[in-house]
Amino acid sequence: MRITDLQPAEYQEFYANYINNVGTLSLWSALDESEAQLLEYLTHVTEDRTDYAYAEGKWTIAQCLQHIIDTERIFAYRALRIGRGDTTALPGFQQDDYAAIADVSDRRFLDMIEEFRLVRASTIALFRSFTEEDMLRVGTMSGGGASVRALGFIISGHVYHHAKLYRERYQ
């Protein structure tokens, strides 16, 4: 399954940039490769650099990783709900509110990297549990439609987005 298989009703336009980050990869390749690309950057960050932000008011390297972890959990939860047939509309979330509360100052960065690996492994296991019918199921999140398979591409594309930002802005 590739992004070319997605229909317009399977995701909101807001998420198109994340989905487009995946390119021509299959969902399974995108989940694996987005993880590898992010880890390629993160594993070279030293503990003394994790509190670096590229500009005033921007997240630090560690805060950004916490955001990636939190967001993946939220989107995987949405995929679970929709995939299992829950028709309850799922609300959006305010990423800046999460970041403001999540205190990463006393966390070891290596522990955060391991947490991301575990969350991604859980995400992959979840998506592997879905049938083809589950993957096509569409629910409502943040006021619009979302299919399970689109959520998988959004998860991957979100990580690609931040891996690119890390390389370009955090160096």
Q: Tell me, what's the pLDDT at 73?
A: 98
Q: Tell me, what's the pLDDT at 3?
A: 84
Q: Tell me, what's the pLDDT at 171?
A: 80
What are the structural domains, with CATH classification, of the chain? 3-170 (1.20.120.450)
Q: What is the pLDDT of residues 76-103, one digit of tens each?
A: 999 999 999 999 999 999 999 999 999 9
- φ and ψ at 46, to 5 degrees? -85, 155
Question: Under DSSP, is residue 59 helix (H, G, I), strand (E, B) or coil?
Answer: coil
CA distances, 20 to each of 16, 43, 154, 155, 160 (Å): 6, 26, 9, 12, 10
Is the pLDDT confidence value at 107 over 90?
A: yes
**Under 8 Å between Cβ of 52 and 170:** yes
| Type of residue found at 154 | I
Q: Tell me, what's the pLDDT at 2?
A: 87
